[in-house]
């Protein structure tokens, strides 16, 4: 696990296969996403590394309800009682009223990729095959949130029907979730990029969501997969689409 402070109070945590974000303001913390089920202890350890504890989390925000983004926060939310918030559609997804996620069969069809089998073994150890839900997940209120970082939810559907990014305007940071990544264990490509299409629920909408991100004002991108990237969202999107900005 690696923790990088990217702005005042904003920390990107990179675990074995996925990222999450910690935003602290005094004794209060906003957690964005929370890794695989096997990452729950690492989420706690990352809080300890910045001098905080699960009891300091005032809310967890979810970019989307895939097992690698809610698996680690689900037991912490149940134990400590902090609210779990996301868009209205994605709250239903996190509660598992429906599921939009690559299946083991989808992954098996990608086994021709040289890196897939190692990645699949890693995420299996982290609990990727477990049935995970967040029964308390609920819809976000409108507008900037009265939480550490003053996050502004940004609807970016496509990867899942209710995928939500979060703009931390005061810090100049965009938390893009899986709408825009900067790397992934199954590819050697680095820099801003879309995840392989088999991960998306609706690839056309996922591509259109990049236009939404490109219009935002930020200087640092924090993705769900890959390292932090410094530059504007418009530059990141142009790079992802293979164009010069």
Residue 88 within a domain:
yes
Q: What is the pLDDT of residues 185-240, one digit of tens each?
A: 899 889 999 999 999 999 999 999 999 999 999 999 999 999 999 999 999 999 99
CA distance 47 to 99: 29
Q: Quote the pLDDT of residue 107.
A: 85
Please indicate, yes or no, if residue 83 is contained in any of the structural domains. Answer: yes
- Listed in sequence order, the residues at least 6 apart from 94 whose beta carbon sits closer than 8 Å to its beta carbon are 62, 65, 70, 84, 86, 133, 134, 137
CA distances from 10 to 7, 21, 86, 225 (A): 5, 7, 19, 17
Q: What share of the chain is helix, strand, coil (3-state, %, to 5)?
A: 30, 25, 45
User: What's the domain range around 123?
Assistant: 2-240
Residue 155 resides in a domain: yes
Across 50-71, average pLDDT: 97
245 in a domain, yes or no?
Answer: no
pLDDT reported for residue 245: 37
**Is 61 among the domain residues?**
yes
Residue 16 in any domain: the answer is yes
Res. 244: pLDDT tops 60: no
Name the token pair of 32: 């964005």
Q: What's this model's pTM, rounded to 2 decimal places?
A: 0.95
The total of structural domains in the chain comes to 1
Residue 114's pLDDT band, with cuts at 50, 70 and 90, is: confident
The Cα 126–Cα 218 span in angstroms is 32
| Buried/exposed 184-214: b ≥16 CB within 10 Å, e otherwise | bbbbeeeebbbbbeebbbbbebbbebbebbb
Average pLDDT over residues 32-37: 98
62 touches 132 (CB < 8 A): no
CATH code of the domain covering residue 8:
3.60.15.10
Rounded CA separation 1/190 (Å): 19
Q: 74 lies in a domain? A: yes
Mean pLDDT over 119-148 rounds to 93
Across 59-71, average pLDDT: 98
Burial of 49 (0-12, 13-18, 19+ CB in 10 A): middle
Residue 143 has pLDDT above 90, yes or no: no
Q: 152-155 and 164-168: which strand pairing?
A: antiparallel
Indicate whether 108 pLDDT > 90.
no
Give the chain's end-to-end CA distance (angstroms, integer): 33
Mean pLDDT of the chain: 95
Is residue 133 domain-resident? yes
Res. 243: pLDDT tops 50: no
Share of the chain above pLDDT 70, in %: 99
């Amino acid at each position: 696990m690696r923790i990088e402070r990217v702005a005042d109070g904003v920390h990107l945590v990179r675990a074995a296969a996925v990222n999450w974000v910690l935003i602290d303001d005094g004794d209060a913390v906003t957690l964005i996403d929370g890794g695989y089920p096997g990452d729950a202890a690492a989420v706690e350890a990352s809080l300890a590394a910045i001098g905080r504890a699960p009891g300091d989390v005032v809310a967890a925000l979810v970019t989307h309800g895939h097992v690698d983004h809610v698996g680690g926060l689900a037991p912490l939310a149940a134990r400590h009682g902090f609210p779990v918030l996301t868009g209205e559609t994605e709250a239903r997804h996190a509660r598992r009223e429906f599921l939009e996620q690559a299946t083991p069969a989808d992954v098996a069809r990608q086994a021709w990729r040289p890196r897939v089998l190692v990645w699949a073994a890693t995420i299996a150890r982290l609990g990727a095959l477990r049935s995970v839900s967040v029964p308390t997940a609920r819809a976000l209120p409108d507008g900037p949130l009265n939480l550490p970082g003053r996050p502004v939810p940004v609807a970016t559907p496509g990867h899942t029907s209710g995928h939500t990014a979060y703009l931390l305007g005061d810090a100049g940071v965009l938390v893009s979730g899986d709408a825009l990544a900067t790397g992934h264990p199954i590819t050697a490509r680095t820099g801003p990029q879309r995840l392989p299409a088999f991960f998306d629920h609706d690839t056309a909408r996922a591509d259109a969501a990049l236009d939404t991100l490109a219009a935002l004002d930020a200087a640092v991108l924090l993705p769900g997969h890959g390292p932090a990237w410094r530059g504007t969202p418009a530059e990141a999107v142009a790079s992802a689409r293979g164009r010069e900005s």
